[in-house]
């Protein structure tokens, strides 16, 4: 499977991490690419886990030719496109590995209209009119979007034994940066555990992104997006029989599983999670973003 990789948005190294996971990487070139955290966790992996059989990132485009060149050399990508659409006809699928969701529709649409399978980094889109255009492609499995934390390795035990803590009294989610690009990580992680999509939200701070969501089973979810702090991806589960604190730090495993899920969807056409859930999560993010302090708003689609 030939894959086109499209990037880059500020502060988001996914084009480099995704390409390295799929193709492998040249350590010397990658070490100079400006993504030391990514390089560090790649170097710590079992080399047998690097590279995905039957898949190759064959083309790359970023808005900066110098970055495209460095990405090409770092991850063994043989072709640098002058324009994103130049890949059409030469690739089987495209990954839009940038989280500037305001541009996702514009970037994805030419490939979708050409019949290619497309993965778009989270969040897919928040504007209802943009989402309306993307819905048909989502529903037929041609378009996929989501966070790697939906598949986080650290959640495997809880995923396999969901009743360990008994009935939950509270779930806490604490994350770095803001709601749209990082809060969605936590909602995706919980959706991957079977929590579904919140049915209402209250903004509980007038100067920070802090929200109280109500999940479908009435479990309260306290989501705190802390802004510019040290790396924080934390989930706390408080149940009748005990509590569990989990930090999501294994980006490599989460990204690898996310990519494998996309490629399996391309080849099999089977959904691992419903497109309606992706749409509803975008609605939850938009509702929370638009919610005024101490206001409660329903989330409906």
Range(s) for CATH 3.30.360.10 in the chain?
153-249+282-298
Assign 201 a pLDDT band (cuts: 50, 70, 90): very high
Range(s) for CATH 3.40.50.720 in the chain?
2-149+254-272
Asked whether the predicted pLDDT for residue 301 surpasses 80, the reply is: no
Asked whether the predicted pLDDT for residue 175 surpasses 70, the reply is: yes
Q: What is the mean pLDDT of the chain?
A: 96
Assign 270 a pLDDT band (cuts: 50, 70, 90): confident
CATH number of the 153-249+282-298 domain: 3.30.360.10
What's the pTM?
Answer: 0.95
- As a whole number, mean pLDDT of residues 239-244 equals 96
Map residue 39 onto helix, strand or coil.
helix
- As a whole number, mean pLDDT of residues 195-211 equals 94
Alpha-helical (H) ranges within 75-166 are 104-113, 128-139, 156-160
Q: Is residue 258 a contact partner of residue 148, using CB atoms and an 8 Å limit?
A: yes
- As a whole number, mean pLDDT of residues 275-282 equals 96
What confidence score (pLDDT) does residue 35 get? 96
The pLDDT tens digits for 50-99 are 999 999 999 999 999 999 999 999 999 999 999 999 999 999 999 999 99
At residue 253, φ and ψ (nearest 5 deg) are -65, -40
CATH number of the 2-149+254-272 domain: 3.40.50.720
Rounded percentage of the chain residues whose pLDDT exceeds 70: 100
Cβ within 8 Å of residue 153, ≥6 positions away: 250, 253, 254, 257
């Amino acid at each position: 499977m030939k894959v086109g990789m499209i990037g880059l948005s500020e502060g988001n190294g996914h084009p480099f991490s995704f390409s390295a996971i799929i193709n492998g990487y040249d350590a010397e070139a990658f070490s100079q690419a400006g993504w030391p955290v990514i390089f560090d966790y790649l170097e710590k992996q079992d080399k047998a886990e690097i590279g995905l059989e039957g898949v190759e990132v064959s083309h790359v485009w970023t808005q900066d030719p110098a970055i495209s060149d460095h990405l090409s050399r770092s991850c063994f990508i043989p072709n640098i496109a002058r324009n994103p659409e130049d890949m059409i006809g030469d690739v089987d699928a495209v990954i839009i590995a940038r989280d500037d969701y305001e541009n996702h529709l514009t970037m994805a649409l030419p490939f979708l209209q050409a019949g290619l399978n497309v993965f778009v980094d989270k969040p897919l889109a928040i504007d209802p009119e943009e989402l309306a255009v993307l819905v048909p492609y989502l529903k037929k499995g041609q378009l996929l979007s989501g966070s790697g934390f939906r598949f986080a390795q650290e959640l495997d035990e809880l995923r396999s034994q969901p009743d360990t803590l008994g009935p939950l009294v509270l779930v806490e989610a604490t994350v770095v940066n803001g709601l749209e690009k990082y809060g969605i990580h936590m909602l995706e992680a919980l959706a991957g555990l079977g929590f579904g999509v919140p049915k209402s939200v209250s903004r509980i701070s007038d100067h920070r992104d802090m929200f109280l969501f109500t999940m479908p089973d009435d479990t309260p979810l306290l989501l705190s997006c802390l802004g510019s702090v040290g790396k924080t991806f934390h989930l706390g589960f408080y149940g009748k029989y005990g509590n569990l604190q989990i930090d999501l730090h294994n980006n490599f495993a989460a990204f690898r599983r996310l990519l494998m899920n996309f490629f399996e969807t391309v080849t099999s056409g089977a959904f691992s999670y419903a497109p309606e859930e992706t749409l509803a999560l975008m609605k939850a993010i938009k509702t929370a973003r638009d919610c005024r302090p101490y206001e409660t708003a329903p989330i409906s689609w």
